[in-house]
Structures are given as C-alpha cells and as structure tokens.
Structure 1
C-alpha cells in the first residue's frame, strides 16, 4: 500500500517538474517535406497534392530555411498565369514563396505555441536551430499534444 502512494506522489511530482513533455520539440514533425527555390510551381503543386499537405518550408543546399511555399502561393500563380495568358511550366517558386518566415523556438511551451498560432493566423511554424531547419510544428501537432495531456493538470 505504501508503494502505491509513493508511485502516485512521484507521478504527481513529475507532472509539475520541468521535464513534463510540453515543449514544441517534443511534438514537432522532424521528417519534413521540403522544397528548393529552383523547383517549378507545377512540381510543388504535385508534391503538395501527393503528400496531402497545404505547404512547406523552402531550404537551400545547406538546409537553411529561406522561405515557405503554400497552396495559396500556387493558386495565385495559377490565377495570374491565366490572366496574363502566360504558361507557368518554367516558373520557379523562388519569387513566389513567402520569405518573411516566422519561426518558433523548439523549447517553447506547447501552450505558448498555441497562442502564437492564434495571434499569427498561421497553419505551421518551422523550427530552426543554429540556422538549420530541424522541424515544423502544425496546428494539428498542438491538438495531438493537447489530447495526450488530457486529464493531466495544464500548467
């Protein structure tokens, strides 16, 4: 009986300590589908459709984050190419990706990340360490974290 209460108090203690898995790095995706600036818009669209994603990070040859390309960026190009009657087969994403990319620190608390998603109205945030892309956190990852923590004290 004494052992059960000891385990119970240890479990409770673990929930309030700093090693509770509440960091972005514990829930981020590290196997990323990335793009390069010299890819054509068409090849990016194919990759987005094939992988059922709405966008992704653009990296250079050193795996440094240089932008983000989204379905919206591609749709804009479809619309403009039709309007100007200019085929987009050869257009690369370099001039069409978002380059002002907001990132999240991997050590950020998952609840602070949730707030950042609400404020920034973004679907995903890349995580960069020492200039290199190491992961990405999406709104869905935050939902998964919340479901894992369900029943625990949210602090």
Structure 2
C-alpha cells in the first residue's frame, strides 16, 4: 500500500524565491538561469506574499519601455492573488484542480509560510505511482 498520497510527499522543497525589493532584472536573470517560468515571492519571515511570472516580467519591461523608465522591483509587478495548497492536501483531489484551471504549479503553504511547490509533473508522478499500485493490487488479489 502507498504510504501517502499527500502533497507533502511529492512537492519540491528547494525553490528559487524572490523578495519584493529584488530588482526586476535580477529576478529575470534568475528565472532564465534556472529555466523556470515563475517563482514565489516571500517576506523576511518566509511568508508567501506573491508570485512573479514570466508574464509579470514582460509587463514590467514593456511598461518600463513605454514610460522610458526600465526596471523596478519584483514587488511592483508580482501577482498578489495567489492560489495555494496545504501540504496535507490529497494529490488526487489536487489533480482535479489542475484539470479545472490553467495553473502549472501551486505554492505549498503551511501556517502562512511557504514550504514548497507542487507542479503538474509532481502530481502526474504521484498519480502514476498510485495507479500502478492499484493495478498491482488487483493483479495479486
């Protein structure tokens, strides 16, 4: 039997994160360097306060070019309305949230603090393991 199908067991724990006062171009360089499309923004205590996506970065660069004032900080362009998930959430239920929405990942928050992130590929891995386990259980019965 699978020991768990909780988000905690499949989430990524080591994340690229930003602070709201991080320079926008520094953030863009880190996204490109790590080949990721976005990252959580936290305060000094590790509390999630937003997300910075490639789209947010593009908006920052384009508005800066339009107003002839390039740059700025992550806090100016990040999205502050962020859907999160608990580490205790069920991965199967989370897969349904992925199917209903267009998100590729959710920050995992416990008691207000960012503890990880779970992506579609993490959930796919979990669901595959669950399905293989269930298939194997029926074969041996």
Is the shorter-chain TM-score for this pair beyond 0.5, marking a shared fold? yes
SS at match of 1:95: helix
Match of 2:39 among 53, 56, 79: 56
Distance 1:145 1:62 in 2: 30
Measure how far apart 1:128 and its partner are: 1.1
User: What residue number does 2:70 align with?
Assistant: 87
Measure how far apart 1:150 and its partner are: 4.2
After superposition, give the CA deviation of every residue in 1:51-73 in whole Å (9 maximum; x if it has no partner).
Answer: 11111110011001111101110
Distance 2:13 2:64 in 1: 34
User: What residue number does 1:103 align with?
Assistant: 84
TM-score (ref. length: structure 1): 0.80
Runs of 4+ in 1 over 4 A off after TM superposition: none
Gaps of 5+ in 2: 136-141
Cα-Cα RMSD:
1.5
TM-score (ref. length: structure 2): 0.88
Instruction: Select the structure of larger CA radius of gyration.
Output: 1
SS at match of 2:79: coil
User: What residue number does 2:126 align with?
Assistant: 145
After superposition, give the CA deviation of every residue in 1:65-98 in whole Å (9 maximum; x if it has no partner).
Answer: 111101110011122222222222xx00112111
Deviates more, 1:79-88 or 1:108-117: 79-88
Gaps of 5+ in 1: 1-13
Aligned length: 135
